[in-house]
Structure 1
């Protein structure tokens, strides 16, 4: 912005932000469950503190309801303890930087109308950046601002779940299709990894959402449909057994599983498998209500 501090006009960019730009921290690395060490941990912590300060003093302070001085958002910044040589982005760490309260009706509206809200925001920011560029004598080319604002699509990756399933099979352990109970062999073409909540409706590659299935069920029966309440309830025991066998056996994967579940599902602190499954049922219902995703009634419904 013209007049802001620094040669590039990025008034919000302080030490932590510039350290992130200069380091090897990619945007995809800044996700729930990510772990940083050494100088990278310090840079991420400083950047989070700067972002917290900017949010509290600028948008949360100045955004008000129409024809009112009442603020839309309530910011409660906090100062976390000095970070050590390691930093893991989980709920506890992020909450230590403070909280931002969003009114329920605003949150629900953004969820349901996001497909229209997002392009409006991108268009407005692009227009603003082009105007700033003209005032600073640094024209922003056509499409340049839009490209900088493009959302990074999640990568559809089921490799880790495949590796874990194959490791269990190599140990002589039994791996079954969560939807049918059929045994899965160790030969090629016998194992698929299914996204319980379909990727096409909710692109989530969290460990709790990756389930073993036979290729027939995953590719030809369930496909991109949402399991019905009955189908999900019928697979409850199989899903929880897979979670236990696949993720509890490895402390590193167990921690990631729990952090991802806490970030994506409405579960309490120190959630049990029962809590996580209840959160999965709640998320399934929200997808059904908000997006009207076609339901899959289970294997019997395809007979």
Structure 2
């Protein structure tokens, strides 16, 4: 807004955020589970404190229900964690900075109507910025603000899971499709990596959500549908086995697997694979209830399993 303090008029931008820019910390690098050390960890912690202060003092205070003094959001700031040489962006650390409570009906409405709400917000923000530019005799071109506000979608990257599967195959370890039990082989059109919770409904590339599958199942049968409760329960042992051999048996990947699970699922550090699977079932149910994602009954219930196993015997 014209008149704000600071060298560039951005009064809400403090030292922590500027340190992030100076340290070339990319937005894509600020993902859940990322770990930082040294000056970068300090800058991120300071930026989080500054962002929290702005949220608590401004939108959480002044966003109120119509014709009411009751705030929509309940914000609680807490003492940030003490740095010990590094900072990991997991659920425990982020909660230590404070919490923001969103009423359930508001959350569900934004989820279901987000396709209409987001364009309205972007258009209104762009209009406001252009008005500020005119007041400061610094015109802002049409489309410029919208381009800067373009959302950075998570990268749909399954390369790590594919490389792990290939390494296991090279060691003559048998890899099977979790949904059918059919044997998978390295090479084009012989092995796919499936997002258990579909990317279209839950854009999550965490290790726990990546499962080996046959191309036929992944691309033509399951596609972007949510596995039903019965379909997921039927392949429990296959998923647990994949988690163990692909992720948990490797010290580095096992640590990442746990951090990502704790950040995205209702589990705590040190949880067993069985507990994480139960949390996956809970997340599946929430997606079904909140977004009404179309369900897939599974290859086994459709009689596809035997056909695929005959084509690709163990």
TM-aligned CA deviation for residue 299 of structure 1: 1.8
Using the alignment, how far apart are the partners of 2:16 and 2:246 within structure 1? Answer: 37
Using the alignment, how far apart are the partners of 1:13 and 1:160 within structure 2? Answer: 36
TM-aligned CA deviation for residue 157 of structure 1: 0.6
Equivalent in the alignment of 2:307: none
TM-aligned CA deviation for residue 22 of structure 1: 1.8
TM-score by length of 1: 0.93
Equivalent in the alignment of 1:59: 59
Equivalent in the alignment of 2:286: 286
TM-aligned CA deviation for residue 265 of structure 1: 2.5
The one-character-per-residue Cα deviations of 1:227-283 (angstroms, maximum 9, x if unpaired) are 222211111110111111111112222222222222222334543322322222233
Equivalent in the alignment of 1:175: 175
Name stretches of at least 5 consecutive residues in structure 1 with no aligned partner.
Answer: none
How many equivalent pairs are there? 303
Using the alignment, how far apart are the partners of 1:200 and 1:79 within structure 2? Answer: 36
TM-score by length of 2: 0.90
Where in structure 2 are the equivalents of 1:161-200 lying within 5 Å?
Answer: 161-186=161-186, 189-200=189-200
**Shift in CA distance, 294/102, structure 1 to aligned 2, threshold 3 Å:** closer
Contact 1:198 1:226 in 2 (8 A): yes
Using the alignment, how far apart are the partners of 2:81 and 2:295 within structure 1? Answer: 46
Where in structure 2 are the equivalents of 1:129-208 lying within 5 Å?
Answer: 129-186=129-186, 189-208=189-208
Equivalent in the alignment of 1:16: 16
Aligned-partner SS, 2:200: coil
Equivalent in the alignment of 1:27: 27
Contact 1:199 1:224 in 2 (8 A): yes
The question of 1:257 aligning with 2:253 is answered: no
TM-aligned CA deviation for residue 212 of structure 1: 0.5
Using the alignment, how far apart are the partners of 1:266 and 1:110 within structure 2? Answer: 22
